[in-house]
Amino acid sequence: MILKKLLSSFFPHHMKRQVRELFGATILLNLALALVIIFEPIYLYQIGYSLQQIMLFYLIVYVAYLVLMPLGGKFSRSKGYELGLFVGSVFYALFYITLFFIAIYPWLFFVAPIIFALQKMFYWPAYYADFARFSDDQEEGREISSFNIAISLVYIVGTVIAGFIITTWGYGALFFIASLIFLASNIPTLITRENFKPGSFSYWGAFKMMFDKKNRKALLAYFGFGEELVVLVIWPIFISIIITDLFNLSILVSLATLVTMLVTMYIGKLVDSKNKRSILALGSSFYSFAWFMRLFVFNQFGVFFVDTMSRLAKNVIVVPLTAITYERAKSKKIMQTIVFFEMSLVIGKLIAIIIIYAALFFVADEIIAFKLTFILAGCMSLLYMLL
């Protein structure tokens, strides 16, 4: 009874219907992502694209996303959050199908990034605005951590399944199955009709907000997300060189995720009861240290240790950072704040891409190039504490 009461305190109890529907949709979408996301850059690397070319791929993605992002906010404000989620998931499926065919039709290398940017444009403003609008003020940290825990569970299962599918049937089967799940992720949000009041959103107003002096500190803080470019693109390629068996790699990543999940429950409760910015600063320092630890990774144990440490530290950042962002959104204009958040992190990723792309011209040794990106990510991670 005492144990049940203790465990219950780590989870939200007043989740609104809209958040529960978003929760279900998020689980399905992340199951699809768990199958493909870590293998996305590995696939490009294995079919012959260099690190420089892969950086060019993501440069196109994020330049297009930065330009298109306010249009995504405009679409969701006029047509509804759930329609934005739906269109975004369709573009997700289309992106991974296109990605697979790059090996056969190389010209798709320049088409796939635009499709990916469109996916982000429709999906993420709708997702964050929906959560910010309907999350419970008193349990926001626990709601965010519950989402993260559920996503972690999905990634534990999904990553192992992905490794099995690739080794058994190949990338084609993996991308096809993931595409079907992306489409199915809309089922929870389409069960009930969205009660939505259309509103206006200024395209140029979004860019004006970016350069407002009042937002400068938050802008720099969100630049920290540039490290995600390294963790989602460079790190998977690096560990695929150390662990050549993709099934073993998937198991290792799943184990790291499991350890992380067990601690995330506590973080959400802590965020609801303690100073969010203190927790964010602690997580930022810890996460930066984990990046520098990657410089000394040479084997499977090192990958497991550092990946676990990094995932744990990132959750210590993400839960309070997201809660603070939602608080800012509710106190101002929700979509305007969410688009500012997304555009800021995109600029951070573009900065990371440009620095990495330039560095690759001057560094012939690939391993040294990898480690320089880890140093860059470690430095960018410290920016989170500015929020």
343-366 pLDDT, tens digit per residue, is: 999 999 999 999 988 888 888 787
Highest mean pLDDT among 195-199, 209-213, 223-227, 242-246: 223-227
- Rounded to an integer, what is the distance from CA 173 to the centroid of its chain? 23
Q: Which two tokens stand for residue 150?
A: 């559920």
What is the average pLDDT value for the chain, to the nearest integer?
Answer: 83
Q: How confident is the model at residue 60 (pLDDT cuts 50, 70, 90)?
A: very high
The pTM assigned to this predicted structure is 0.87
Q: How confident is the model at residue 261 (pLDDT cuts 50, 70, 90)?
A: low
Distance (Å, rounded) from C-alpha 122 to C-alpha 302?
A: 38
For the cut 90, the answer to whether the pLDDT of residue 87 exceeds it is yes
Highest mean pLDDT among 13-17, 191-195, 202-206, 253-257: 202-206
**205-209, 286-290, 298-302, 314-318, range with the lowest pLDDT:** 298-302
Would you state the pLDDT for residue 20? Answer: 81
Is 206:73 a contact under the CB 8 Å cutoff?
Answer: yes
Per-residue pLDDT averaged across 355-383, rounded? Answer: 88
Q: How confident is the model at residue 3 (pLDDT cuts 50, 70, 90)?
A: very low
Q: Give which of 14, 205, 180 is closest to 94, Cα–Cα.
A: 180
Q: How confident is the model at residue 9 (pLDDT cuts 50, 70, 90)?
A: very low
Q: Give which of 225, 253, 239 is closest to 163, Cα–Cα.
A: 253
Identify the residue with better confidence: 257 or 61. Answer: 61
For the cut 60, the answer to whether the pLDDT of residue 7 exceeds it is no
Per-residue pLDDT averaged across 277-302, rounded? Answer: 87
Q: Where are the domains of the chain?
A: 17-184+214-386
Identify the residue with better confidence: 20 or 6. Answer: 20
Is 120:66 a contact under the CB 8 Å cutoff?
Answer: no
Would you state the pLDDT for residue 35? Answer: 86
Q: Helices H, strands E: what count in the chain?
A: 18, 0
Q: Which two tokens stand for residue 220?
A: 């720099």
What CATH superfamily classification does 17-184+214-386 receive? MFS general substrate transporter like domains (1.20.1250.20)
